């Protein structure tokens, strides 16, 4: 596999110019995630009203995969209900942990499909899933720090 | 003075393989070194023709296995310039050796108010065992700083020594930066303050001639797997009178003189610290690795690394946006670096695609990374089998990283 299939232009773009890289005003939920192996760490902030993500942002540092995944995650969950965020987490997680030799099931994932190449790099899967574990913890109001180890 | 690298490469079967479809460039020997045919053969031939448990058997095979195990201990003694093979204790690795000293010596000698002095650049394995020992005793862990270059200034270390210091535990060579610490000077200062000295030699033994008597330390530890030997075996060397005074660490078979429910007496050193059946084949393999290295000559190995390091340092310095982390004046074959705008893990992944194996991360030295203001670095580290070609491939692969992230 060529590295360009892993580092697709969308990923490189979101790494360089992460969207929603901020603390939203009136955020009412947050969670910290860290990947002790890589030193990736981020905090995801949500403003949840009536069970819907009204605003979302993140702060932190990490590799291109984790940063781009966090950025694309914020775009994907904005305006969604918490149940939809959970369902999206499941789909994304299933994609990343699926057999890399099978064709990827990217149904309903939209832009998030760019991460299917990460399946071929088992040690990097955690980089892509960390923002999703963290947003799920924030959505559930779990106070603990999410760890991928 | 030079090594015949092309000949050496033929001794390491794994170097013939490819990675991601490209000839393997292995630049992660500081994490673990590859194994020469001599080590692989020593282990398989031991299992095929000389294997039995040691010490107990009254039959020839067990005597042979015991003799081979004893011979490995003598090889370690020779490698370290130790006065007596009984001062060499076989353990799993350097980590276990440090834990043994921290637990056994710590339990018997460390008291409330005492201090243990380490440095900022230590590997976690030379931090956490001392934290545990200090916590148990009510003692304090004191840390000597490193400077921007990755050196440990002696005056700052000396300023942290006091009559309360019981132990000074330092790396001989930094795993993350390659800095060589002035261990002999540190030992002299520590002894003047009345403290003992433990040296973590995990990175030094494969790269430099080591003589524990010349260093003047009290304990010296290393792992076999970084020394081109097998995993699962390492060594603690300690001065005889210290080891004799220390209580046993783990209890079990082999470490006893006599067991009664009322009172058990312990074996002499080193067996007192070697409870249970050890990694016998591992020790035999380690012995073969030591033979291999001493045949090459440690002065030559050190010279080879210095030359390659100079070549690699210059090569990487020419790459725009690259900064070498760790520029100690005394340094061994470690090239830690960061690239503007690219996380070390992304560097590692792209290098992997180019067939180049390096390490990216905090290198089990988080306090050092924090001191340097970095989350992680990419680290290329050298071994006896590396050549200028490998470093050329590394530099080309780094340029590819820059291209992808442009």
Among B227, B175, B171, B177, CA closest to B200:
B171
E-assigned strands of B7-68? Answer: 18-19, 22-23, 25-26
Q: Chain A partners of B362 at a C-beta cutoff of 8 Å?
A: 39
Element (H, E) at A6: helix A3-6
CB-CB under 8 Å, B343 with A62? yes
Asked if residue A148 belongs to a domain, the reply is: no
Whether residue B377 is predicted with pLDDT greater than 90 in this model: the reply is yes
pTM, rounded to two decimals: 0.94
Cβ count within 10 A of residue A37 = 17
Q: Does residue A128 sit at the B interface (CB-CB below 8 Å)? A: no
Residue in chain A closest to B374 (alpha carbons) equals A39
Residue in chain B closest to A122 (alpha carbons) equals B349
pLDDT, one tens digit per residue, over B15-64 is 999 999 999 999 999 999 999 999 999 999 999 999 999 987 889 999 99
Average pLDDT over residues A43-60: 96
Which residues have a Cβ under 8 Å from the Cβ of B65 and sit 6 or more positions away?
Answer: B46, B50, B51, B52, B53, B54, B57, B280
CA–CA dist A28, A48 (Å, integer): 7
CB-CB under 8 Å, B346 with A63? yes
Whether residue A107 is predicted with pLDDT greater than 70 in this model: the reply is yes
Whether residue B111 is predicted with pLDDT greater than 90 in this model: the reply is yes
DSSP state of B49: I
Distance from CA of B346 to the nearest CA of A (A): 6
Asked if residue A147 belongs to a domain, the reply is: no
Q: Report the complex ipTM.
A: 0.89
Distance from CA of A68 to the nearest CA of B (A): 12
Distance from CA of A122 to the nearest CA of B (A): 11
Please return the burial class of A65, using the count of CB atoms within 10 Å of its CB with bins 0-12, 13-18 and 19+: buried
Q: Which residue has the tokens 């003694």?
A: B77
Q: What is the pLDDT of residue A143?
A: 57
Whether residue B323 is predicted with pLDDT greater than 80 in this model: the reply is yes
Q: Chain B partners of A1 at a C-beta cutoff of 8 Å?
A: 353
How many CA within 13 A on the CB side of residue B291?
15
**Residue B134 falls in the annotated catalytic set:** no
Residue in chain B closest to A62 (alpha carbons) equals B343
Distance from CA of B405 to the nearest CA of A (A): 7
CA–CA dist B69, B187 (Å, integer): 31
Q: What is the pLDDT of residue B344?
A: 95
pLDDT, one tens digit per residue, over A62-86 is 999 999 999 999 999 999 999 999 9
SS3 state at B281? helix
Average pLDDT over residues B378-396: 98
Asked if residue A149 belongs to a domain, the reply is: no
What architecture is the B41-295 domain classified under in CATH?
Answer: 3-Layer(aba) Sandwich (3.40)
Nearest by CB to A39, from B346, B353, B361: name it: B361
Q: Does residue B405 sit at the A interface (CB-CB below 8 Å)? A: yes
Q: Are B268 and B246 in contact (CB under 8 A)?
A: no
Whether residue A1 is predicted with pLDDT greater than 70 in this model: the reply is no
Tell me the CA distances in angstroms from B389 to B5, B178, B300, one per residue in order.
11, 21, 19
Band of the pLDDT at B2, cuts 50, 70, 90? confident
Whether residue B317 is predicted with pLDDT greater than 60 in this model: the reply is yes
pLDDT, one tens digit per residue, over B175-222 is 999 999 999 999 999 999 999 999 999 999 999 999 999 999 999 999
Residue in chain A closest to B363 (alpha carbons) equals A37
Segment 48-67 of chain A within 8 Å of chain B by CB: 61-65, 67
Average pLDDT over residues B355-369: 94
**CATH number, domain containing residue A18:** 3.90.1010.10
Q: Chain B partners of A67 at a C-beta cutoff of 8 Å?
A: 343
CB-CB under 8 Å, A65 with B404? no
Q: What is the pLDDT of residue A2?
A: 78
B5-31+297-404 fold = 3.90.1150
Q: Chain B partners of A61 at a C-beta cutoff of 8 Å?
A: 375
Q: Chain A partners of B342 at a C-beta cutoff of 8 Å?
A: 64
| Paired tokens of B174 | 């930094």
Please return the burial class of B107, using the count of CB atoms within 10 Å of its CB with bins 0-12, 13-18 and 19+: middle
Nearest by CB to B349, from A41, A67, A121: name it: A121
Nearest by CB to B345, from A1, A4, A38: name it: A38
Residue in chain A closest to B375 (alpha carbons) equals A39
Average pLDDT over residues B224-238: 98
CA–CA dist B177, B324 (Å, integer): 9
Q: What is the pLDDT of residue A39?
A: 75
Nearest by CB to A12, from B343, B353, B405: name it: B405
Which domain range does residue A120 map to?
A: 3-141
CB-CB under 8 Å, B346 with A64? yes
Average pLDDT over residues B351-366: 94
Q: What is the pLDDT of residue A38?
A: 72
Helix intervals (H) in B235-343: 240-245, 280-296, 298-317
């Amino acid at each position: 596999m060529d590295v360009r299939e892993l580092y697709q232009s969308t990923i490189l773009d979101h790494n360089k110019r992460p969207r929603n890289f901020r603390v939203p005003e009136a955020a009412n939920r947050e969670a910290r995630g860290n990947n002790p192996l890589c030193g990736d760490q981020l905090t995801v902030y949500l403003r949840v009203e009536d069970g819907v993500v009204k605003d979302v942002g993140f702060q932190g540092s990490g590799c291109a995969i984790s940063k781009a995944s966090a950025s694309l995650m914020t775009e994907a969950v904005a305006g969604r209900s918490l149940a939809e965020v959970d369902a999206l987490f499941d789909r994304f997680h299933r994609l990343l942990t699926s057999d890399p030799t099978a064709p990827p099931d990217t149904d309903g994932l939209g832009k998030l499909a760019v991460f299917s190449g990460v399946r071929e790099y088992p040690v990097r899967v955690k980089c892509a899933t960390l923002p999703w574990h963290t947003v799920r913890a924030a959505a559930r109001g779990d106070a603990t720090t999410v760890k991928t180890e | 003075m030079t090594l015949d690298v092309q000949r050496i490469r033929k001794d390491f079967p794994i170097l013939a393989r490819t990675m991601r479809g490209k000839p393997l460039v292995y630049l992660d020997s500081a994490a673990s070194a590859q194994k020469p045919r001599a080590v692989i053969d020593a282990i398989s031939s031991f299992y095929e023709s000389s294997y039995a448990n040691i010490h107990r058997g009254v039959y020839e095979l067990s005597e042979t296995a015991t003799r081979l195990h004893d011979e490995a201990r003598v090889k370690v003694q020779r490698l370290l310039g130790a006065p007596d093979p009984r001062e060499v204790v076989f353990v799993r690795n350097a980590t276990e050796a440090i834990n043994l000293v921290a637990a056994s010596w710590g339990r018997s000698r460390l008291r409330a108010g005492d201090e243990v002095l380490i440095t900022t650049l230590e590997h976690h394995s030379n931090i956490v065992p001392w934290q545990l020992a200090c916590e148990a005793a009510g003692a304090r862990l004191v840390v000597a700083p490193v400077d921007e270059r990755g050196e440990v200034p002696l005056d700052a270390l000396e300023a942290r020594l006091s009559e309360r210091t019981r132990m000074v535990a330092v790396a001989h060579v930094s795993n993350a930066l390659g800095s060589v610490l002035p261990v002999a000077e540190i030992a002299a200062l520590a002894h003047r303050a009345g403290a003992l000295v433990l040296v973590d030699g995990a990175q030094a033994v494969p790269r430099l001639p080591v003589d524990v008597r010349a260093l003047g330390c009290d304990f010296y530890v290393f792992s076999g797997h970084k020394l081109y030997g097998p995993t699962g075996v390492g060594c603690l060397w300690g001065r005889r009178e210290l080891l004799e005074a220390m209580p046993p660490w783990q209890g079990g078979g082999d470490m006893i003189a006599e067991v009664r429910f009322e009172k058990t007496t312990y074996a002499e050193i080193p067996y007192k610290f070697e409870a249970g059946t050890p990694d016998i084949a591992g020790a035999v393999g380690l012995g073969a690795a030591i033979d291999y290295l001493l045949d090459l000559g440690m002065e030559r190995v050190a010279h080879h690394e210095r030359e390659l390091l100079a070549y690699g340092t210059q090569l990487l310095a020419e790459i725009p946006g690259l900064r070498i982390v760790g520029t100690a004046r005394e340094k061994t074959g470690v090239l830690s670096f960061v690239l503007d705008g690219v996380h070390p893990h992304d560097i590692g992944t792209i290098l992997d695609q180019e067939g180049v194996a390096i390490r990216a991360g905090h290198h089990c030295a988080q306090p050092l990374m924090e001191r340097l203001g970095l989350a992680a670095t990419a680290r290329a580290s050298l071994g006896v089998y590396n050549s200028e070609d490998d470093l050329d491939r590394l530099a080309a692969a780094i340029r590819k990283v820059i291209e992808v992230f442009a």
